[in-house]
Amino acid sequence: MADSGSDSSPPNEIIKPVPSGPRVVTIYKTETGFGFNVRGQVSEGGQLKSINGELYAPLQHVSAVLDGGAAEKAGIRKGDRILEVNGVSVEGATHKQVVDLIKSGGDELTLTVISVTPQEAERLEPSDDQSSYNYIDYTDKRSLPISVPDYHYLEKSGERFAVFNIYMAGRHLCSRRYREFSILHMNLKKEFVGYNFPKLPGKWPFQLSEQQLDSRRRGLEQYLEKVCAVRVIAESEIMQEFLTDDQQGNVSPVDLKILLPDREIITITARKNSNAEQVYAAVLEKIHMTKNTSLYFYLFEIVEYNFERKLLPQELPHHLYIQNYSTASATCLCIRKFLFSLNAELSLSNDDQAMRFIFWSAVDAVDRGHIRADDRLYQLKALQDSSRKSEYLTLARELPGYGEVVFPHCSCDSRKEGHVIVCVGINTLKLLACHSDGTLENQVVEFVWPSIKQWQIDKEGMVFCFQYQRGNNNPRWVKIYTPYYTYLCECFERINEERKWSDTGE
């Protein structure tokens, strides 16, 4: 939801002609925020739909506009479909992605929108006094890889019963009793009265044989496949709660797949409420990593192409795991290096596992262009074999960008137009100027760490701020509007700590 002080449009709104075609609107935040709400799909992709004669992927839409607020003054209308946010296309994007982009732009927001008729806007967001008519689109369908491959038995208060294991794209979501499926069926029928639901496998008053249980399992799987194929049902609160809130609580263990730096995928078993610290400990035990080496790696979430975010110790990896069930990759969890000091890295030279992981981390950085190999690329490729990892690393460590964390492009208050790419390394912080689509420009601002005096985060504004001072000039603050502000702050803290290691000889 974008900033707003109201959830409804003005009651006596003057009917204005609907603008034809996309238009660009700039909104400046006031004390009441941007003054509008956003609503739309929670997962990516979807069928193309016609809007004013043009085909578009599913779009987030403006669900409410604050009377007299910034959005209304800028010309935003209820029902407007959002095509771009700050120059970034959001066709087929999720609600969270759009909201994150809105927040990352600071106090100025540029939207490309296309307006629809008042009737179409009302269809998306009916007024409170029109509760008699509520249009729901059941034609928007997609295939979700949901399955109920098996079941197991539980005992509770002396009662033994079967629970059916529900998976999405090979990831275990939850285990449910038949009666819970029955309750789900009734609740969905009440919520979506216009939909013709498939039949649920029938009840049976006597104990079922293994053959009958397997038949019930197949019937429940077919039921979920059919109802979850309808986007509006699959994304409803009723279905999401059913798929994520296990009544057996956090007692039953689940399998989590973790991608290692050497591209091997391992599976560990953990409770659903295990935090990142506990899951990381389970990984260390599984791969037999030494305690000393474990200080320089951690558990990360793969959140964007070519970018991973370090998890906070109290985050729940299983929650992230099931939130990403629709992604094509085998897992969204991985182990990555969290180390900037080259001296500390060299101290691990006798640990073969550590060196193997560091080698593959360097290979990834070269492939992503974070290590700028240029005319040395051919030489690196010739050494890209695990048996020659020492030679590869010796060369890679001489190249610009080695050991840096490169963040996705985002807005920065020091640039009126375009974005920046933040690169954090042991010696310098670099802001690379780029266009709003991430295309690099020929401008780099570099800060040596002694010039950076302090830093902080603004959780509400999703902003990372740092203060720097050059020579006798007055200190200046820089604001970076990135959704990864917490991880960026962790990088600053870690580098500050590692630079002390160099000073003290630790």
Q: If you average pLDDT over residues 194-216, what whole number do you get? A: 86
Angle between helices 352-368 and 389-396 (to 10 degrees): 50
| Mean pLDDT of the 457-476 span | 91
Q: Does 265 have pLDDT greater than 90?
A: yes
- Note the pLDDT of residue 45: 64
Every domain of the chain and the residues it spans: 23-130, 146-244, 253-396, 405-504
Per-residue pLDDT at 85 = 92
> So what's the pLDDT on residue 134?
40
The answer, yes or no, to whether residue 9 has pLDDT greater than 50, is: no
If one compares 33 and 297, the residue with the highest pLDDT of the two is: 297
Query: Given a cut of 60, is residue 245 above it in pLDDT?
Result: no
- Classify residue 410 by its DSSP letter: B
The residues facing 302 across adjacent strands are 308
Q: Do domains 23-130 and 253-396 have the same CATH topology?
A: no
pLDDT, tens digit (0-9, with 9 covering 90-100), for 321-350: 776 655 556 788 999 999 999 999 999 999
pLDDT for position 112: 94
Stretch 348-356: mean pLDDT, rounded? 96
Strand order from edge to edge, sheet including 171-176: 146-156, 159-168, 171-176
CATH hierarchy code of domain 253-396: 3.10.20.90
pLDDT at 51 over 90: no
Q: What is the pLDDT of residues 111-151, one digit of tens each?
A: 999 988 776 666 655 444 333 334 567 888 888 889 999 99
CATH 2.30.29.30: does it fit domain 405-504?
yes
Pick the CATH number of 23-130 from 2.30.42.10, 2.130.10.30, 2.30.30.40, 3.30.590.10: 2.30.42.10
What pLDDT digit, counting tens, does each position of 371-425 carry? Answer: 999 999 999 999 999 899 999 999 999 999 999 999 999 999 988 889 999 999 9
**What average pLDDT is seen over the chain?**
85
Structure tokens at 372: 């700028």
Buried b (16+ CB within 10 A) or exposed e, 263-274: eeeeebebbbeb
pLDDT value for 232:
86
CATH number, domain 146-244, options 3.40.50.1220, 3.40.50.2000, 3.10.310.30, 3.30.1520.10: 3.30.1520.10
This prediction has a pTM of 0.60
pLDDT of 130 reads 35
Point out which residues pair with 64 in neighbouring strands. 37
State percent of the chain over pLDDT 70: 87
Confidence of residue 236 (pLDDT cuts 50, 70, 90): confident
Quick check: 480 and 463 in contact, CB under 8 A? yes
Average pLDDT of 275-297? 97
Is the pLDDT at 463 greater than 90? The verdict is yes
Point out which residues pair with 42 in neighbouring strands: none
